[in-house]
């Protein structure tokens, strides 16, 4: 019997495609993810992305509980409890970034009953959310024409957080929080400037807003 929660988490070796695109990818008729994006088709199986891109995964540390002697002890997942007739019920949330460090990145969020299930489900979602990143050298101070930054300024939103991403000259590095660095590194961006507004301490929305900004870059391709 397949557990509903772990369904779809089978390994790539045992993949039996359920969609036309999936079959084409497995049979080698589609060899590049750009072919799928160009057709404007939606990817419905994470294995498609695994076959076409060599992905790395980063977990965004969204959890935290007050530690001994003050401060916040960071954790990769966030646990929230709600009361139930039979006692406390816990829900584990996670946020994951996948990318090939060369122009493709995806973000996925999920909940599960355990830490591992929450993360695995988020990885699967991140793969389905993968997007091409419009990189370039958008900085007038640089003009090197290489893909080290983003092509132009872009903005994104998630919850109360708004973020502005700006092209930066070569050697500037990633001027942002540690969690956002994970997103940009996996996207293959080396130099960027960021400006955030709103409750930027909520890491969840901070990363989602930056991903939204990268998506919007594509809309004006
Ligand atoms: Zn440049």
Which sequence spans correspond to the domains of the chain?
1-52, 133-219
Please tell me the distance between residue 166's alpha carbon and the centre of ligand 1 in angstroms: 13
Q: Facing residues of 166 across strands?
A: 193
Spacing, Cα 171 to ligand 1 middle (Å)? 9
Number of CB atoms found within 10 A of residue 20's CB: 12
CA of 167 to the centre of ligand 1 (A): 9
Q: How far does the centroid of ligand 1 lie from the alpha carbon of residue 22, in Å?
A: 37
Strand 154-158 and strand 131-132: the pairing is: unpaired
The third-level CATH classification (topology) of the domain covering 133-219 is: Ribosomal Protein S5; domain 2 (3.30.230)
Give the pLDDT of residue 2.
42
Q: What are 33-47's pLDDT values in tens digits?
A: 999 999 989 999 999
**Along the chain (221 residues), what's the average pLDDT of each consecutive run of 10 residues?**
48 85 96 94 95 96 75 82 82 95 97 93 97 94 93 95 96 94 98 91 89 90 55
Q: What is the mean pLDDT of the chain?
A: 90
């Amino acid at each position: 019997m397949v557990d509903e929660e772990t369904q779809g988490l089978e390994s790539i070796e045992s993949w039996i495609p359920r969609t036309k695109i999936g079959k084409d990818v497995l049979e080698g008729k589609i060899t590049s993810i750009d072919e799928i994006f160009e057709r404007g088709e939606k990817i419905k199986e994470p294995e498609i992305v695994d076959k076409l891109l060599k992905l790395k995964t980063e977990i965004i540390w969204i959890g935290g509980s007050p530690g001994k002697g003050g401060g916040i002890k960071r954790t990769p997942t966030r646990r929230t409890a709600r009361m139930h007739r039979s006692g406390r019920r816990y829900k584990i949330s996670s946020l994951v970034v996948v990318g090939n460090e060369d122009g493709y990145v995806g973000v996925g969020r999920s909940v599960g009953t355990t830490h591992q299930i929450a993360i695995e489900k988020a990885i699967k979602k991140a793969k389905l959310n993968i997007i091409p990143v419009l990189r370039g050298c958008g900085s007038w101070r640089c003009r090197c024409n290489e893909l080290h930054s983003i092509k132009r300024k872009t903005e994104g939103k998630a919850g109360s957080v708004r973020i502005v991403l700006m092209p930066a000259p070569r050697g500037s590095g990633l001027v942002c929080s540690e969690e956002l660095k994970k997103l940009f590194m996996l996207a293959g961006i080396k130099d960027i400037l960021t400006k955030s507004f709103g409750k930027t301490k909520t890491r969840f929305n901070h990363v989602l807003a930056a991903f939204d900004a990268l998506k919007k870059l594509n809309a004006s391709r």
